[in-house]
């Protein structure tokens, strides 16, 4: 069993990067990928810790959002990245600057609604993390402005809500190119949970992404029904794309999603790693 879509405290998860390999071993995983949002800051700690765990493959990755012709803010997971590539570090630093600008704009809107938060305090409480809406939401809960995370998103910072600010992202072509230039491959993450639930639309987007250099589809995901999973495997075979899968694990930030099994019934086959390694070899020779 494997899990190739996981987040750590370096972005919006709660488990430290260096603790993920041991947790994976405890859950009998044979491979795990760290794919934090917009940052590679946790990858070295993750990989170093992974060297101490026998029979566990640790894959360095990232998750980036991108805009394209068919849809905006599609998520692409990069796997087998070189954490030290200059292009990757430059791009993630730029994305973190975009995040800071957006975060400050969200705080201004919240203040106009009577909810005052100190950005320096949020940064201090989440040292080393790529700060985003989840951290702002946690601060809203901590200071008693909202009862829980759901209320915060539903009433204030969710899409189209009063304090929402659109996140600035790269184009999908830039995202895919960056992952290739960083020594990795590009996988369309959770395709059927991005509002692209019709078979024809998903196929159209996958076909367009393939022309940009997409290497695979994340068919196995916590939010995918069996019918979604089956359909995505069919699309992958039709387009000669590799198949990947992951839980989108965030630790206690999403407590119902467990490492390796999602909400309890996810079982991602070990052999998918072989297909992804082959896709990597085809891409990079």
Of 112, 138, 157, the domain-final residue? 157
Lowest mean pLDDT among 158-162, 191-195, 246-250, 254-258: 191-195
* 67 and 196 co-located in one domain: yes
Cα angle 81-232-26, degrees, rounded to a multiple of 5: 55
Residue 248 domain-assigned (yes or no): yes
- Other Cβ atoms less than 10 A from the Cβ of 112: the count is 11
Residue 163 covered by a domain: no
Helices (H), 3-148: 20-26, 43-50, 86-112, 119-125, 133-142
Domain hosting residue 42, numbered range:
2-91+168-284
In a domain, 38, yes or no: yes
For residue 252, how many other CB atoms are within 10 A of its CB?
8
Say yes or no: 32 and 72 in one domain.
yes
Query: DSSP string of 223-267?
Result: T--HHHHHHHHHHHHHHT-EEEEE--B-GGGSTTSBTTTBTTT--
Does residue 258 fall inside a structural domain? Answer: yes
Assess contact for 43 and 51: CB atoms under 8 A: no
Q: What is the pLDDT of residue 195?
A: 58
User: Are 127 and 246 in the same domain?
Assistant: no
| SS3 at position 63 | strand
* Residue at a domain's end among 110, 128, 157: 157
Are residues 87 and 197 part of one domain? yes
Q: Do 111 and 15 have their domain in common?
A: no
Q: Which residues contact 160 (CB under 8 A, 6 or more apart)?
A: none
Contact status, residue 266 vs residue 30, Cβ threshold 8 Å = no
Q: Residue 31 domain-assigned?
A: yes
Residues 208, 74 within the same domain: yes
pLDDT at position 73 is: 85
Give CA–CA dist 61/80, Å, rounded: 6
Chain center to CA of 108? 27
Please report which helix (H) or strand (E) contains residue 188, including its range.
Answer: strand 185-188
Same domain, 71 and 9: yes
Q: Which of 196 and 40 is assigned the larger pLDDT?
A: 40
Number of domains in the chain: 2
Q: What is the pLDDT of residue 72?
A: 77
pTM surpassing 0.85? Answer: yes
Surface-to-core class of residue 285, CB atoms within 10 Å of its CB (0-12 exposed, 13-18 middle, 19+ buried): exposed
| CATH number for the domain harbouring residue 172 | 3.20.20.140
Residue 162 forms part of a structural domain: no
Residues 6+ apart with CB under 8 A from 248: 5, 6, 7, 190, 221, 222, 223, 254, 257, 262
Q: How far apart are CA 50 and CA 36, in angstroms?
A: 16
- For the chain, what's the residue count? 285
Task: Tell whether 9 and 136 lie within a shared domain.
Answer: no
CA dist 232 and 237 (Å) reads: 9
More confident residue, 194 or 108: 108
User: What is the CATH number for 106?
Assistant: 1.10.150
Q: Is 58 left (phi over 0), alpha (psi -120 to 50) or beta?
A: beta
- Whether residue 20 is found in the same domain as residue 69: yes
Same domain, 85 and 197: yes
Q: Return the pLDDT at 211.
A: 96
Residue 126 clears pLDDT 90, i.e. is over it: no
- 80 plus 210 within the same structural domain: yes
Q: Are residues 86 and 131 in the same domain?
A: no
pLDDT band at 59 (very low <50, low <70, confident <90, very high): very high
Residues 219-240 have pLDDT tens digits of 999 999 898 999 999 999 999 9
């Amino acid at each position: 069993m494997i899990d190739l879509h996981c987040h750590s405290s370096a972005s919006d998860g709660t488990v430290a990067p260096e603790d993920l390999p041991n947790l994976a071993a405890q859950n009998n995983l044979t491979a795990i990928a760290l794919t934090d949002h917009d940052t590679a800051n946790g990858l070295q700690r993750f990989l170093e810790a992974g060297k101490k765990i026998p029979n566990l493959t640790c894959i360095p990755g990232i998750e980036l959002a991108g805009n394209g012709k068919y849809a905006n803010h599609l998520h692409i997971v990069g796997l087998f990245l070189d954490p030290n590539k200059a292009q990757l570090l430059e791009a993630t630093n730029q994305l973190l600057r975009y995040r800071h600008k957006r975060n400050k704009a969200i705080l201004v809107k919240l203040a106009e609604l009577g909810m005052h938060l100190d950005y320096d305090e949020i940064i201090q409480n989440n040292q080393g993390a790529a700060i985003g809406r989840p951290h702002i939401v946690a601060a809203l809960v901590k200071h008693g402005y909202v009862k829980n995370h759901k209320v915060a998103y539903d009433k204030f910072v969710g899409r189209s809500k009063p304090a929402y600010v659109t996140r600035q992202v790269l184009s999908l072509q830039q995202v895919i190119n960056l992952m290739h230039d960083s020594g990795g491959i590009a996988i369309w993450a959770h395709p059927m949970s991005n509002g692209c639930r019709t078979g024809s639309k998903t196929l159209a987007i996958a076909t367009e992404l393939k022309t940009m250099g997409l290497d695979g589809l994340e068919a196995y995901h916590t939010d995918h029904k069996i019918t979604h999973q089956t359909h995505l495997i069919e699309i992958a075979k039709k387009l000669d794309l590799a198949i990947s899968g992951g839980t989108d694990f965030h630790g206690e930030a999403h407590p119902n999603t467990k490492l390796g099994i999602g909400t309890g019934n996810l079982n991602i086959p070990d052999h998918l790693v072989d297909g992804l390694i082959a896709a990597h070899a085809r891409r990079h020779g």
